[in-house]
Structure 1
Amino acid sequence: MRPLLRYLRLAALVAGLTGLLTGCSDSDDDVAVEPAAPARITVPQAGLHPEGIQYDEQGKRFLVSSRTQGRIGGVRDDSTYTTFADDPRLVSTIGLHLDAPRQRLLVAVSDNGANATRTTAATLRKLAALAIYNSSNGSLISYTDLGALRPGLNHFANDIAVDSQGNAYITDSLSPIIYKVDAQGTASVFLENAQLSGGTGFGLNGIVFHPDGYLLVAKSNDGTLFKVPVSNPGSFSRVTSGQSLVGADGLLLLDSRTLLLVAGSQSTVFRLTSTDAWATAAASGSFATGAVSPTTITRRNQTDAYVLYPYQSTSPRFAIVKAGF
């Protein structure tokens, strides 16, 4: 009986080890793999008319604004939309900037009459504000009235850039102004110059911060691209480009030498490159969107860029589409 007993014990031990090794193998095989980023997300939200978009890597969602309803929303890859933040003062939300290192979502707030339930005589073409939310839970951190810095002018806060110190820069499309809100919340006029005016149309629009210490800013009415040193904004200059950029809207700096620019009126995203620190730029590619009123663009991962298609203000949907060049 003893040899048989030893055999049975040995067989049980071998079976246990085999099961353990098999379990280890299954665990390795079951390691979660990030699903491929979708080529297109169509979101069934009627009349939302989003203007700004950012991709939140931590939350695995897009964040979008709304001209017509004011609220900020989150969009998953399966097209699910949920409200991220809302406030009666959010008449129309325009550009967004996700400051991930500081867990902040910065929101440009304006009123051009698109939100019929929140517009008032006091805010119509006068409102320019910066709302800042905690990007994790949607709680309001601050709300800053920028239009009060120049109360006699028309205003439309449009887009936002944030520098390495946490200072925010906000364009005004109806006045020739770039505002600054420092990391402590103090607002000031960073740059005011007649060359930034859009005349009777939209002027300043998209803005990005370059890590070499300057802003790149687009003007919609004539497609001018400006380079504005943060340390000396009065010395701003035009970026010379052979490409017509009329209708320039949102900007995305892919790397120090590559800028994506959405020209809404041309239904095109242009890829611009520079080899001389943005004294000049040349078109190196383009992506045709079709007649979808594209507004802006955001990075997802290191290689993907997604364009926002709001369609019309009464559309039953909007779309987020991966750009290809």
Structure 2
Amino acid sequence: MLRFPTPLLATRLGVLAAAALFATACDKDENTASAPSQVNFTQTALYPEGTQYDEKNSHFLVSSQTAGRIGQVLDDGTYTQFADDAQLISTIGMKLDADRSRLLVAVSDPGYNATRTTAATLKKLAAVAIFNRDSGAKTGYVNLGALRPSAAAHFANDIAVDNAGNAYVTDSYAPIIYKIDVNGTASVFLENSALAAPAGMFGLNGIVYHPNGYLLVAKSDEGALLKVPLATPANFTKVTATGLNLAGDDGLQLLDNTTLLAACNAQGQVYRLSSTDDFVTVSRTGSFATGDVYPTTLARRGSESYVLYSYLNALQKMQSPPVSQFSLTRIAF
């Protein structure tokens, strides 16, 4: 028989429910409050492009176009080396695959690491290095450019991982998205001349996996956003973004099934894009101005998003003295 609570019991239940709601709200407030608005770290001429946040180990991870090594950054700005290897010429985008306890790192050679660049790798390298997320030990290295040795140039830029553990990697100098399966076997996932960019310009850039079975990919030279089905990649389409200027779109971050963040470095903006039709179209629902810091990639920390102030524009201009302080800034719309 269904029994209804007595008035006293109902009162107690109400108090407990209110307390639970209050505790949840407090936890949320405390989590937000404990996330710093900005983390500044000093490493002269480091010029990081990629970042991720490791919840388990409570640190940000950052790459370096000039040193190659992977660094870890604490909230107080302490920077220490997380991993390094002679094969890391310039490290670009990164993807922390927490489910498999690994960090995947895009490796290229734009010529900024004077101690490791070679004639054989300069603007010809597209690779992915894989590290244990706890120890920093290198567990794999995949030379993707070797799949298309005749291409005029290569530049591995960013990485997405699907639910099965397959990785997808953009090449900014060749019109290619690579795939590395869970066994480490590499292949060309998509190659199409329509994905090409003018010589010397970045084409394919940031990439994220959508759980509905497709990739969202930034194409920087056009300021375009592409939708690439995993089952039929040749049927990729351009997401309609009427009235939006996404020029220089770089790092992408999927917040939920309908919301995407896009860092547009040359604009000094991070845009929040929303879709009601499974990313056939998007509209802008927020923007965050960074200033002239060349924002590149994004890290998710709990319910917060951080954007990396890379200052790669200063590196490209060979600014002297070089930039010494870099930042990870919490985005607020």
Matches within 5 A, 1:1-325: 36-153=34-151, 154-200=153-199, 201-242=201-242, 243-301=244-302, 303-311=303-311, 312-313=314-315, 314-325=322-333
Distance 2:94 2:245 in 1: 25
Distance 2:220 2:112 in 1: 19
SS in 2 for 1:101: helix
Distance 1:213 1:190 in 2: 14
Cα RMSD after superposing both structures = 1.1
Distance 1:216 1:142 in 2: 26
* Unmatched runs of 5 consecutive residues or more in structure 1: 1-32
Query: Which letter maps to 1:109?
Result: V
Distance 2:276 2:197 in 1: 28
Instruction: Report deviation, 1:119.
Output: 0.5
Deviations 1:43-65 (A, max 9, x none): 01111000000000000000000
Aligned-residue identity in percent: 58
Instruction: Report deviation, 1:284.
Output: 0.6
Instruction: Report deviation, 1:151.
Output: 0.3
Deviations 1:152-203 (A, max 9, x none): 1110000000000000000000000000000000000000001111122110
Distance 1:165 1:217 in 2: 19
Deviations 1:123-166 (A, max 9, x none): 00100001010001101110000000000111000000000000
Deviations 1:260-306 (A, max 9, x none): 000001000010000000001111110000001111111110x2100
Instruction: Report deviation, 1:204.
Output: 0.2
Question: How many equivalent residue pairs?
Answer: 293
Distance 2:98 2:44 in 1: 29
The structure 1 segments of at least 4 consecutive aligned residues displaced by more than 3 Å after TM superposition are none
Instruction: Report deviation, 1:116.
Output: 1.0
* Unmatched runs of 5 consecutive residues or more in structure 2: 1-29, 316-321
Greater C-alpha radius of gyration = 1
Query: Which letter maps to 1:235?
Result: N
Q: What is the TM-score with the length of structure 1 in the denominator?
A: 0.89
Distance 1:198 1:264 in 2: 17
Q: What is the TM-score with the length of structure 2 in the denominator?
A: 0.87
Query: Which letter maps to 2:265?
Result: G
Instruction: Report deviation, 1:106.
Output: 0.2
Distance 2:112 2:250 in 1: 18
